[in-house]
Each structure stands twice: as structure tokens, then as C-alpha cells.
Amino acid sequence: MPNQVRDLMGILVEVNRHEEGGLEYLEIVVEPYPYPISYRGQYHYRSGSTKQELRGPALSAFLLQKQGKRWDGVPVPGVKAHDLSAEAFTLFRQRAAKSGRVDEQVLDDCNEALLDNLNLVDGDYLKRAAVLLFHSTPEKFITGAYVKIGFFAADDDLRYQDEVHGPLLVQVERTLDLLQTKYTKAQVRYEGASRLEEPPFPAAALREALLNALAHKDYSGGTPVQISVYEDQLQLWNEGHLPDSWTVENLLRKHPSKPFNPDVANTLFRAGYIESWGRGTIKMLNECRAAHLPAPQFYFEASGFVVAFAEYSATYWHQRGVRADLIPVLLYATQHSIITNALVQQQLGVSKSTATRYLGELEKGGYLQKIGTRGAGTEYRLIGS
């Protein structure tokens, strides 16, 4: 038996014969191995009660992980520092100087030395992370290394779209610019004689969501980051997944930073784009709360990770199961911060008892919070606003 295991799997096992209760049995002792073991050229892993075969990108990631490497740390032959984008290097130096996370002497050094200092070099080769971040056309080496943006009137009605190509550092700036100037409409308000324009979604929250998508994406899948913009919502999808044993709940509280592409994330951190403490999702939540918007939603869909932003609207409340006759109450509370029984009667043309019933249902459902004193002066505020 030890010889058969050695010939089929290339490992050594200990086989012991035991006897208990008049019965004989064999004990096969298999020590943990620091590298993956194949059986007849195949690699398997256990998922629950079933055995699955590792293939394609999942197998590549597994093998790299067992070797102590990550996908973005693999060397790329045939690419040198002089092949990379001067625009990307200039942008990085400007951002890093402002962030103060890279020594000035390093920023003044040549591009080759800068890449080495950022840990983007492996021997005589540049890493995939260097190509992603600084090459003018990273798609020559990495399929799907770009961003797609589309504006939808409905899920099946695409009105217009754009693709953002180039170095990852440049993609960040160009994508944010497109979102703010072409794909979302600023809300206009006045403070005295001053005219102020506010984007529908906080720029800082969108920035965090985009950077998370680019830093945590599984680039071995070959699908670009996709941003779907609607009249009152915006969704970012990337072909990524959470660290092992994590759930979406981990993102809603303070958590360690475990980037899927650590070399990419480190460069973005040095440039001041992201933090290294896993606070990006919390920042998105806080920014939306400060702007009186619903908390962004995090979930998995179509083999990828989604961050969804939304405005309070009739569609938003309908999707959450609120009855049509109650939605106007919530919309008024959104626009005016508070609502009272008298205002419900006035706005909806209903009786006092009906207004009381509406407000009671919305309070019980967790949408409104009662504030102030009881009686005619009782006010209600939208929870989370």
C-alpha cells in the first residue's frame, strides 16, 4: 500500500496494523504537505460533503497560494520598465508625494528603482501587478484589465456605454471623471446666493467602491469591472470573492485588510488611493449616511461581487416590499427630514385615523422612528437618515 500511494501521488504514508475487539484494521497516517498533491494529474478539494476537482483559474490560484505567491506577484516575461506608461509614473509620483507614503528620494529615482522599491520586480522580471498598474495597454498581457460603464433605462435597455482602458492608475481617474460628468446628474441647491451642486452619490464612496473592485478583482477570470448606472441607482460588479471563511457581515464592521492582489493594493496605498486597514466599506457606509442615502448593499451575483448604491425613490421602496400607499409617506420624510400625522393627512388627503395607521405600520416595519412628545406634535424621522 505505501508503494502504491507513492507511485500514484508521490508522497510517503505510514501504514500500521491494529487489532481491537477481535477485529483487525489498518491505520494510514498522512502528514500535511506544504505543497499541493495531485492524483493521476488531477487536484481535488473537499467542499462540505462532496469532493470537487480544481480546474482553470481556481487551480492556478490554489497552486500559487501553496507556493506562497499571489496572482499579481507572478513574473511577466518580455516587459521592461521602459515599456511602461510615462503618464502612469507621473500620476503615481504626484499622488504619492501628496500622500507622504513614499520617501522623496525614492520618488526622485529612476522608474526601475521605483518599481523595485514598490516590490513590483521579481528577479529580472516585472510582476503582473506592475503591468496592470503602469503599462499603457495591460490587456496585451491580462485579458479583461479594463472597466465597462453603461447607463440603463431598464435592465434590458442600455442607452449608452463607455470603456476605460490604460494603466490601472489612470483607469481610476478616468472612470471617476466619467461617472461624475456623464453618468450621474448633480443635484442643485442654494446656500444664500451660492449655487451648490451635489452628486447623487458621494464621490468618496464611489471612489472607495471602484478602488476595492480594481484591487480585489480576480484578474485570471478575464472579465472587466462592470459599472451599471440607472436613474436612481449605481452598481459595481467585479469578478472577485471574499477571503476564506468571511461573509458580507465582516464588511459591515472593522476588519483586517486582506487584498486579493496585495502588490496592486500596496501601490494604490502608497499613492494615497486606499487605506491599509480594511476601512473602505465602513467609509462607504458613513459617506452614504452623511448624505442621507440608503446604506450601500454588498452581495454576490453571477460569480462576482457587487456593491450597489441607491437613492431613496419609489422604486427603492417598492423593491423592499413597501406598499404603494405608504411610499409617499417615506418619500416626504426623505425630502423634509421629518413627517407628522397632520402632514400625512395634508399630503395624501387621508383621515387622521388613516394617517395614524400609516405611521404606525411604517414605525413597526422599521422604516420610521418616533421622536419628540406624544400627541399632535409627534414627529417621525426616517431611520438611517
pLDDT tens-digit map of 38-87: 888 888 877 677 888 887 767 777 777 766 678 899 899 989 999 999 99
Q: What is the mean pLDDT of the chain?
A: 88
Q: What is the pLDDT of residue 230?
A: 95
Buried b (16+ CB within 10 A) or exposed e, 183-219: bbeeeeeeeeeeeeeeebbbeebbbbbbbbbbbbbbb
**Helix, coil or strand: residue 14:** strand
Decide which of 257 and 118 is more confident. Answer: 118
Residue 357 has pLDDT above 60, yes or no: yes
| Residue 88, CB-side half-sphere exposure with 13 Å CA sphere | 27
For the chain, give the percent of residues with pLDDT over 70.
93
Summarize the confidence of residues 366-385 as an average pLDDT.
78
Terminal CA-CA length for the chain: 68
Q: Which string of DSSP letters, residue by residue, matches 20-36?
A: ETTEEEEEEE----SS-
Decide which of 102 and 35 is more confident. Answer: 102
Residue 384 has pLDDT above 70, yes or no: no
pTM for this predicted structure: 0.78
Q: Pairing between strand 147-154 and 157-164?
A: antiparallel
How far apart CA 263 and CA 131 sit, in angstroms, is: 11
Residue 226 has pLDDT above 60, yes or no: yes
Q: What is the pLDDT of residue 193?
A: 60
Q: What is the pLDDT of residue 22?
A: 92
Decide which of 385 and 177 is more confident. Answer: 177
Residue 314 has pLDDT above 60, yes or no: yes
Decide which of 252 and 294 is more confident. Answer: 294
Q: What is the pLDDT of residue 354?
A: 93
The confidence band for 34, taking pLDDT boundaries of 50, 70 and 90, is low
